[in-house]
Amino acid sequence: MSKEYELSKEIINLAKQVEQEIKPVFKEINEICEQNSLKVLKAFQKRHISDMHFNSTTGYGYGDIGRDTIEAVFSDVLGAQDSLVRSQFISGTHALTVALFAFLRPADTMLSISGKPYDTLDSVIGIQENASSLKAFGIKYEQIDLVNNEFNKEKIVERLKQGGIKLIEIQRSRGYSLRNSISIEKLEEIIKIIKQIDPNIIVMIDNCYCEFVGTKEPLQVGADVIVGSLIKNLGGGIAPNGAYIAGRKDLVMLASERLTSPGLGKEVGPTLGINKQILQGLFFAPSVVASSLKTAVFASRMLEKLGYITSPKYNEKRADIVQTIEFGNKEDLVKFCQGIQMGSPIDSHSIPEPWDMPGYVNQVIMAAGAFTQGSSIELSCDAPIRPPFVAFMQGGLTYEYGKLGVLKAISNMKE
């Protein structure tokens, strides 16, 4: 490996040492993978998936049996009454936008209880002024920050008792912040508190990066609706685009009529030959998520031993696939991201640089030598260029490829 991949013997020896230390964590990840694989397999068998479900529709997409069955499979896997799984969703942000505009009306109030959502929702909500935002339609926004990585229960209860909240949004993954991701146990606890005060409040979970990290999903602990992307966990690195909204049947119907039009809802939407890729991606997803987690665990321990601050620590319980590394300076951050690109199968010869990316306040560097543009389940690393200069790494279709990418990034940084 030293000769073929231009790695120093010191880095290789450190990697060997780290792999011995992280074996118990890998064992736990494998057990979770097996349980989620069984869940997916049972859903495929329950819905009698066959090659007829791979067929394509065009135009309006009326009577697409593959599309409808895919949504039934996702409902089974996620514990939902109904699901909307569509390639017409451009991204997770798009699906979240559709959901928020579907559920909220002028003068309604949306409350985030996990702090400010991911940067790309700033313009959607109206935190950053935009003529097409929820704020522009008279929808109000409030937020309650986490305190020491915990929900501020006292403040949440106080606000809910005042009334007037239509929807509560919770982002499980950390986004571009240094807080911990939110475990299913903490989610279950806070949802119980919310529903005891007002059972009519819609609890909507941004579940991006979190699917199959554990054995339960938010709908199984009381959430009303969840949203996620197919170029993250549930696409398994095979789905070329798309996202999902899953949960209560009435809410999924509202979302479908916002995605298409009132009166049409889920009945339209051509699949254009994507059915097989969505199904195959979901089938591979438990294993691919496990590989991403193993890559993150390996990276966490390697970088910690090299003196950097990592979160989560290699042996901490995880709720998403995101691994953060705090570099403390722009140079190491950029070199690490560039090294991830060098260790990728696609565009390994390209050198990413920080740039003014649409939807972000700060310049962002994004390394993603992926088969699908923007696919975060494939090995990728991105970061806003701002102190304390933290990289957000995720993905790895296989652990072996993920490990090689991380070693290349470390090598590039240490040169």
If you ran DSSP here, which 8-state letter would residue 218 be given? G
46-94 tens-digit pLDDT: 999 999 999 999 999 999 999 999 999 999 999 999 999 999 999 999 9
Domain membership flag for residue 2: no
Q: How confident is the model at residue 361 (pLDDT cuts 50, 70, 90)?
A: confident
Domain count, the chain: 2
What's the rounded mean pLDDT across residues 321-342? 96
Among residues 370, 376, 409, the alpha carbon closest in space to that of 118 is found at 376
Domain membership flag for residue 46: no
Task: Provide the residue range defining the domain that includes 206.
Answer: 55-282
Residue 165 and residue 67 share a domain: yes
Q: What six digits make up the tokens of 367?
A: 């390394």
272-294 tens-digit pLDDT: 999 999 999 999 999 999 999 99
Domain membership flag for residue 132: yes
Show which of 245, 261, 282 is a domain's final residue. Answer: 282
Residue 328 and residue 406 share a domain: yes
The DSSP code sequence of 134-196 is: TGGGT-EEEE---BTTB--HHHHHHHHHH----EEEEE-S-TTSSSPPPPHHHHHHHHHHHHH
Residue 274 and residue 155 share a domain: yes
What's the rounded mean pLDDT across residues 7-30? 96
233-278 tens-digit pLDDT: 999 999 999 999 999 999 999 999 999 999 999 999 999 999 999 9
What integer pLDDT is reported at residue 176 of this predicted model? 80
Residue 79 and residue 17 share a domain: no
Show which of 282, 312, 328 is a domain's final residue. Answer: 282
Residue 204 and residue 140 share a domain: yes
Among residues 63, 64, 84, the alpha carbon closest in space to that of 74 is found at 84
Q: Is the Cβ–Cβ distance between 333 and 326 less than 8 Å?
A: no
If you ran DSSP here, which 8-state letter would residue 334 be given? H
Q: In this model, does residue 359 exceed pLDDT 80?
A: no
Domain membership flag for residue 32: yes
Please give the backbone phi and psi of residue 311, each rounded to the nearest 5 degrees, phi first: -150, 130
Q: What six digits make up the tokens of 101?
A: 């505009």
Show which of 282, 300, 325 is a domain's final residue. Answer: 282
Q: How confident is the model at residue 357 (pLDDT cuts 50, 70, 90)?
A: confident
Residue 170 and residue 230 share a domain: yes
In Å, how far from its chain's centre is CA 371? 18
Q: What six digits make up the tokens of 198?
A: 């007002």
What integer pLDDT is reported at residue 180 of this predicted model? 94
Q: Over the Cα atoms of the chain, what is R_g? A: 21
If you ran DSSP here, which 8-state letter would residue 388 be given? T
Distance (Å, rounded) from C-alpha 322 to C-alpha 211? 12
Q: Is the Cβ–Cβ distance between 379 and 402 less than 8 Å?
A: yes
What's the rounded mean pLDDT across residues 312-336? 97
Q: In this model, does residue 3 exceed pLDDT 80?
A: no
Q: In this model, does residue 5 exceed pLDDT 80?
A: no
Domain membership flag for residue 166: yes
Q: In this model, does residue 358 exceed pLDDT 90?
A: no
Q: In this model, does residue 407 exceed pLDDT 70?
A: yes
Distance (Å, rounded) from C-alpha 122 to C-alpha 127? 5
What integer pLDDT is reported at residue 2 of this predicted model? 67
Residue 16 and residue 104 share a domain: no
Q: Is the Cβ–Cβ distance between 231 and 198 less than 8 Å?
A: no
135-157 tens-digit pLDDT: 999 999 999 999 999 999 999 99
Domain membership flag for residue 47: no
167-179 tens-digit pLDDT: 999 999 998 888 9
Domain containing residue 203: CATH number: 3.40.640.10
Question: Left if phi > 0, otherwise alpha if psi is -120 to 50, otherwise beta: which for 373?
Answer: beta
Distance (Å, rounded) from C-alpha 322 to C-alpha 170? 17
Domain membership flag for residue 45: no
Residue 85 and residue 138 share a domain: yes
Q: How many CB atoms lie within 10 A of CB 307?
A: 7
pTM of the model: 0.95
> What is the greatest pairwise CA distance in the chain?
66
Q: In this model, does residue 1 exceed pLDDT 70?
A: no
Distance (Å, rounded) from C-alpha 89 to C-alpha 102? 14
Among residues 206, 101, 125, 112, the alpha carbon closest in space to that of 165 is found at 112
Strand order in the sheet with 243-247: 82-86, 243-247, 225-229, 202-206, 167-171, 109-112, 140-143
Distance (Å, rounded) from C-alpha 262 to C-alpha 244? 19
Residue 183 and residue 299 share a domain: no
Provide the 3-class DSSP secondary structure of residue 357. coil
Domain containing residue 324: CATH number: 3.90.1150.60
Among residues 285, 276, 264, the alpha carbon closest in space to that of 207 is found at 285
Provide the 3-class DSSP secondary structure of residue 223. coil
Return the residue matching tokens 């529903």.
Answer: 195
Q: In this model, does residue 4 exceed pLDDT 80?
A: no
Residue 275 and residue 192 share a domain: yes
Residue 209 and residue 165 share a domain: yes
Report the C-alpha dihedral over residues 24, 218, 211, 356, rounded to 10 degrees: -120
Q: In this model, does residue 415 exceed pLDDT 90?
A: no
The DSSP code sequence of 2-67 is: TTTTT--HHHHHHHHHHHHHTHHHHHHHHHHHHHHHHHHHHHHHHTT--GGGG----TT-TT-HHH
Residue 123 and residue 67 share a domain: yes
What mean pLDDT value characterizes the chain? 96
Domain membership flag for residue 4: no
Q: How confident is the model at residue 304 (pLDDT cuts 50, 70, 90)?
A: very high
